[in-house]
Structure 1
Amino acid sequence: MAALDLFGRRWSLRVLWELRHEPLGFRLLQQRCDGMSSSVLRQRLTELQEARLAERLSDGSYALTALGQDAHQALRPLTEWSRRWAAELELGP
């Protein structure tokens, strides 16, 4: 349940999503997250680091850890479903 609590917090999944391919600096990550407030982004990054899903690299950028990559892989079926769902919504009744 702790994972669901973490993933259920606003922006947590978005931060994981944005870090899925490459490390990102704070400002670029904030831009990719539609300009979320810096205080919220810092909080989410702290939570993800405490959960060992993300880490801050020596250059100051943020990246997913091996556990974070595992979490991303675990969420892939949800991503696939959401694409089908969005397509169905566009088709209408």
Structure 2
Amino acid sequence: MAALDLFGRRWILRIVWELRDGPLGFRPLQQRCDGMSSSVLQQRLTELQETLLVERDPAGAYRLTALGRDAYHELRGLVRWSDRWAAELDRQPSDRPAAGP
């Protein structure tokens, strides 16, 4: 349950996702996360470091640890499922109003 609590926090999954290709400094990571506030990003990075999923490299950039990379690889299954789910939703007739201009 601890993992669900951690990954259920706002921005945690996004940070792990954005670090999937390698280390990022604080500002570039913030920009990739749609400019989330500095205080929230710092708090989430601290949580991820405390849970051993993220570490800072010698240059000060943030990167996934081996456990963090494992978590990312597990999340890829969720992404594949999400793609199938979205495709199924697209095939279903919808009572939803059409998107605006």
SS in 2 for 1:63: strand
For 1:42, the equivalent position in structure 2 comes to: 42
TM-score (norm 1): 0.94
Residue 13 (1) aligns with residue 13 (2): yes
Identity in percent:
72
- What is the RMSD computed on CA atoms of the aligned residues? 1.0
Report the counterpart of residue 59 of structure 1 in structure 2.
59
Task: Point out where structure 1 has 5 or more consecutive residues left out of the alignment.
Answer: none
Map of 2:3 onto structure 1: 3
Give the structure-2-normalised TM-score.
Answer: 0.87
**How far apart, in 2, do the equivalents of 1:25 and 1:92 lie?**
42
Q: How many angstroms apart in 2 are the aligned matches of 1:32 and 1:89?
A: 28
Does the alignment pair 1:87 with 2:87?
A: yes
Where do 4+ consecutive residues of structure 1 move more than 3 Å?
A: none
Tell me, which stretches of 5 or more residues in structure 2 are unaligned? 94-101
Q: Which has the larger radius of gyration?
A: 2
Q: Offset of 1:53 from its aligned partner?
A: 0.2
